[in-house]
Amino acid sequence: MEKKDLRIVYMGTPEFAVESLKRLVEGGYNVVGVITMPDKPMGRHGSVLQPSPVKEYAVSQGLKILQPEKLKDERFLEELRALQADLQIVVAFRMLPEVVWRMPRLGTFNLHASLLPQYRGAAPINWAVINGETETGITTFFLKHEIDTGEIIDQVRVPIADTDNVGVVYDRLMMLGGDLVLKTVDAILAGNVRTIPQETLSSAGVLHPAPKIFKDMCRIDWTKGVKPVYDFIRGLSPYPAAWTELCEPDSAPVVMKIYETGKEFAEHALAPGTIVTDKKTYFKVASTDGFVHLLSIQFAGKKRMNVADFLRGYRHSEKAIVK
């Protein structure tokens, strides 16, 4: 079978999923349908509907689009069956019911942004950086009942530099993901896929999960040490962003998001969260084994700024702390 004859249904929602879809379209593959999330209400009253990045691209290419509220809805299932897909591809979408992933004759494969079986879950890139990993990657695998546990088709390993934040790693994996999706489709077309059960790879060590990240999980714990705090901040930068509270005497605490930091390992007797600054060029926070230098920050309702700009308008109290 030629690639133009292979009927593909693509499922995805965020920007990360656009690159793989774009590669399929530009590569001449036959994408007969795109499944994405319903438009998201925006604005004060939810009166403006924001389409997903995948929908925006699909519209620009004239592709057929389905946006089901529920994946088990019989009307949606009838529309999906009518597309007569040979293969389904999932990139950053949602958990599929068996009736959906079993539908195509060649199966359904997923592109996941980790080296499975490590970092199964919704936020694999964030957690790899938060945990100080020096390597991550992307994996294609066939879907089965338990989420992110299907047999591996292919993987690409990618280094993580100590200075990389999650945005940098995200962009790198997004581009490489497009390559791997095409490579996987071609292997399936050629009939030379040799899958590997994830259980055979789990002996590499303790498995790290990658659960969805919520705002309350993004608060910085200054007692954890310089390197864990540094990794935590870059693992949440630029989104959703790590935060702490700047506490001044006789004032309400102010939430401060932190996007970029530096490390200074040093012995000291200060309590974690103590602020040390020359009020002009540096603003650092004590941790258990040194200091974390704040380089790029943002307060609610304000623009992101570097610390020198912040200090020009900051009246520092010697009793101020972050917590």
* Among candidate residues 228, 243, 225, 219, the one with its CA nearest the CA of residue 294: 243
- CA 317, CA 312: separation in Å to the nearest integer? 14
What does DSSP say about strands 30-35 and 65-66: parallel, antiparallel, or unpaired?
A: parallel
Q: Encode burial over 161-194: b for 16+ CB neighbours within 10 A, e otherwise.
A: eeebbbebbbebbbebbbebbbebbeebbeeebe
Count of CB atoms within 10 A of residue 199's CB? 10
- CA 29, CA 6: separation in Å to the nearest integer? 7
Q: Does residue 311 have a known ligand-binding role?
A: no
Q: Does residue 68 have a known ligand-binding role?
A: no
- Residues paired with 9 in a beta bridge: 33, 88
Q: Name the token pair of 233.
A: 């901040």
Question: Is 292:229 a contact under the CB 8 Å cutoff?
Answer: yes
Q: Does residue 83 have a known ligand-binding role?
A: no
Q: Does residue 66 have a known ligand-binding role?
A: no
Query: Which residue positions form the known binding site for (6S)-5,6,7,8-tetrahydrofolate?
Result: 114-117
Residues comprising the binding site? Answer: 114-117
